[in-house]
Structure 1
């Protein structure tokens, strides 16, 4: 390449510097999974606290939690970069809303745990199909558009609802019990971790399987702590269990926030449509220097 063309290329890069977008979703690390399990366990006990202990009922509780979820997700969608407190609030609310929504369908609606799991699996499959057809990236760490993030949160809401139904089906319908179900699900999670490191199975497939399974893991763990002993639990009650889990979640969020202040998350490249290659409007803060 001639010096003239090199100079023209440099000038072009200076006039149109590479664009990057501040990351809005966290890296998938051990801390992420710890926070996810605590948040989903909190969702199980928090949902039961409002619907059962306080006798608000599944329908009203679902309306309340979905309304809170919508408010929180608006703040998340409007944020210009990753905010741990906002992100994990939305995750916790998808778990509480998922708990009461699943119980409303399965118990009040009378379709049963297996029927609820089937309906929610179908809904989640439809969301993933729309997501794939939209051309948005399926890499959950690099989602950087409004449409992509919106699909991400819809998928999470359905996955957490599905997790409640599948956890109840495993513990109650199959008669395995809360503690044994938690052990089985923990074993499956370890197998998924091994598959991630030692096989070539698609990483996003493993992520979503693990993401769905952390919900029944949290549900069975929450029930194991809060339910009476004659139901296989430790009889902590929903109030004390919810308070303990909320405290742990807050401590972990503070720790993650401190980590990010010391080591900011790397930005992601400006988004392009996966199918067409056309640039798309980012929904995070734009930066020109990835360092």
Structure 2
């Protein structure tokens, strides 16, 4: 099978700087968009989670049934995962009353189990292996848990520790920079570093999203969730259109 044919089977993008920029925008939009539906529209965490979960499942099925990589479809699915991650995390930590620490531990366990089962059943969790239905299901389940975990971690860091949104954003940015340095100057598995970075972009987006729309008294800018979401969505769409993207290729 030549590389062109293989590329059509892998429906996830190659990891580039543009990928990470769009991912952070998507996670930030997931926070403001999820809060807009659950809080501003007053639908509550449970109903919002159910609605976003239906959307996420529909997008994943569309992604799986597709025969090629299409950037808009892929990032729409990512966005669906970030919004359901926001409301699910809020439902677990607030409505169920297990708190940010308990929610983070629960979600970290679920994420770890998903990655473990993926590795044991298919032999690799490398994104360049996402070329069949089972791998795609594991991929999107991992992403959903990572987005939900990231929301809980972001809220825990910014709120429970009283660090505030900007300081928390600095913490997660610093951790991401550390992963970049490890990628360049260590022999740690690039797959492990990818998933670590993938998880950490979510709490970064969560605290930035909260900084945009939370009240001034809580350290936020008190922007409208709707206007913030619209601005983030516009920026995300422009980057998807303008930045060249291609499907990931198998490396082995």
TM-score by length of 2: 0.94
Is 1:141 aligned to 2:116, yes or no? no
Query: How far apart, CA to CA, are the structure 2 residues paired with 1:134 and 1:255?
Result: 38
Which entry has the higher C-alpha Rg, 1 or 2? 1
Change (3 A) 1:185 1:267: closer
Correspondences of 1:56-75 after superposition (within 5 Å) = 56-75=43-62
Query: How far apart, CA to CA, are the structure 1 residues paired with 2:248 and 2:60?
Result: 23
Deviation at 1:90, TM superposition (A): 0.7
| 2:217 paired residue number | 230
Is 1:162 aligned to 2:130, yes or no? no
The counterpart of 1:189, out of the listed 162, 169, 176, is 176
Q: Which runs of 4+ in 1 moved over 2 A?
A: 17-21, 264-269
Query: How far apart, CA to CA, are the structure 2 residues paired with 1:102 and 1:266?
Result: 30
RMSD over aligned CA atoms reads 1.6
| 1:179 paired residue number | 166
Correspondences of 1:224-263 after superposition (within 5 Å) = 224-256=211-243, 259-260=244-245
Change (3 A) 1:110 1:191: same
Query: How far apart, CA to CA, are the structure 2 residues paired with 1:181 and 1:247?
Result: 25
Conservation of the 8 A alpha-carbon contact between 1:25 and 1:142: no
Query: How far apart, CA to CA, are the structure 2 residues paired with 1:18 and 1:201?
Result: 29
Change (3 A) 1:112 1:250: same
In terms of mean alpha carbon deviation, does 136-145 or 112-121 score higher? Answer: 136-145
Q: Which has the higher helix share?
A: 2
| 1:107 paired residue number | 94
Query: How far apart, CA to CA, are the structure 2 residues paired with 1:239 and 1:210?
Result: 28
Aligned pairs, number:
249
- Partner of 2:128, secondary structure, is coil
| 1:78 paired residue number | 65
Deviation at 1:267, TM superposition (A): 5.1
Query: How far apart, CA to CA, are the structure 2 residues paired with 1:194 and 1:205?
Result: 14
Change (3 A) 1:137 1:81: farther
Is 1:130 aligned to 2:117, yes or no? yes
